Amino acid sequence: MKFGTKVIHAGVNPDPSTGAIMTPIFQTSTYVQSSPGNHQGYEYSRTHNPTRNALQNSLAALENGKHGLCFSSGMAAIDAILKLFQPGDEVISTNDLYGGTYRLFTKVFDKFGIKFHFVSMENPESIEKYITDKTKMIWAESPTNPMMNIIDIKGLAKIAQKHNVLLGVDNTFATPYLQTPMDLGADLVMHSVTKYLGGHSDVVMGALVVNNDKLAEDLSFIQNSCGATPGPQDCFLVLRGIKTLHLRMERHCQNGKTIASYLRNHPKVEKVYWPGFEDHPNHQVAASQMKDFGGMISFTLAGNQMEDAFTILKNLKIFSLAESLGGVESLCGHPASMTHASIPKAEREKVGLSDSLIRLSVGVEDAEDLKNDLFKALDQL
């Protein structure tokens, strides 16, 4: 099936008992057994739930993977991955990544003896010097959050396979509409389902997609044992959101291009970070592994003053100041004080995350209204 058909049909079938075309919300904690151990595939909803299973199958199909697993948040999904490892193991991570992931790595699992290396991955070959016999995983985001760097996933996969380590890719910004890391050699694909997959800012959820049966079995054991699973109501909402993913992403990409171009030509804007520009350092990689360039944009202001960024954010009306991204409504944020505040200032500045940097999640509103909103806010400086 083509992608637009997959989002509506893949992994989802009419309910066999009623013919309902939408997957029912199986709002139940437990299931009746005809005799001890004799059941219809369901015992307890932490372990399995029909609504969650339908969503997991849908996500696996969208990522061209074999197994999908859903969690109560994106962080719970990453937490499950890290529980595959032992004290003394090492992970090589991109140095430009979501602040919550950095916090989980450095403030939680570092205490349990897992060592993390945060390195630039714009040149995949440069990470080989960090790989030892203790390295278990390479962790990447592409595009990165919030600097919109593009990482050559296929290049990383070659290195991971050469050294027999896992490659995990956070595909939240791109979604399977724009890229499918499994097809580029990734072992694990992670989503903050909260964002584009749900698409309506009404669900918090995470997901993993894998191909390897043993890896799926190990992660499923962690999923059930640790219990960070989403409820059926949330799974239903995401199943509904996925059905319009292709339509929403088309508009996000169109609006993203319009807004990025507008900001780039504004005299009060110093730099715009968006991989669709031909002079973006990794534009060619983006063009080769992505269908389009997305609706996430970061930009800095001339003078690099945090106060100026706050003035802009205060005066935006259609762009709402809020955490998160990927909803139909446009959102704006200040990573240095919001999503990436857990990363020390010195570390933020190493990757170019300045105090004036503003991150935009461009929604599906009329692009002219979004441009006018930015024009009026920038006019306050």
CA proximity to 252, closest of 278, 280, 287, 276: 276
Pairing of strands 206-210, 188-192: antiparallel
Q: Does the active-site annotation cover 170?
A: yes
Q: Does the active-site annotation cover 98?
A: yes
Q: 361: which strand partners?
A: 296, 331
Q: Does the active-site annotation cover 183?
A: no
The DSSP code for 244 is T
- Which of 79, 152, 170, 373 is the catalytic position? 170
Token readout for 210 is 């894998």
Token readout for 5 is 């058909």
How far apart CA 238 and CA 233 sit, in angstroms, is 9
How far apart CA 318 and CA 330 sit, in angstroms, is 7
Gyration radius from the chain CA atoms: 21
Strand ranges (DSSP E) for the chain? 67-71, 90-94, 115-119, 135-141, 166-170, 188-192, 206-210, 269-273, 296-301, 320-321, 331-333, 358-361
Give Cβ neighbours of residue 25 (< 8 Å, ≥ 6 apart).
Answer: 51, 232, 233, 235, 236
Q: Does the active-site annotation cover 248?
A: no
- Residue 202: left (phi > 0), alpha (psi -120 to 50), or beta? alpha
Give Cβ neighbours of residue 123 (< 8 Å, ≥ 6 apart).
Answer: none
- Which of 46, 66, 103, 264 is the catalytic position? 46
- Which of 52, 195, 348, 371 is the catalytic position? 195
Give Cβ neighbours of residue 368 (< 8 Å, ≥ 6 apart).
Answer: none
- Which of 6, 52, 98, 292 is the catalytic position? 98
Using alpha carbons, list the distances in angstroms from residue 194 to 78, 187, 197, 286: 14, 22, 7, 24
The amino acid sitting at 198 is G
How far apart CA 308 and CA 305 sit, in angstroms, is 5
Give Cβ neighbours of residue 150 (< 8 Å, ≥ 6 apart).
Answer: 122, 142, 143, 144, 275, 280, 281, 282, 283, 285, 286, 289, 290
Q: Which residues have a catalytic role annotated? A: 46, 98, 170, 195
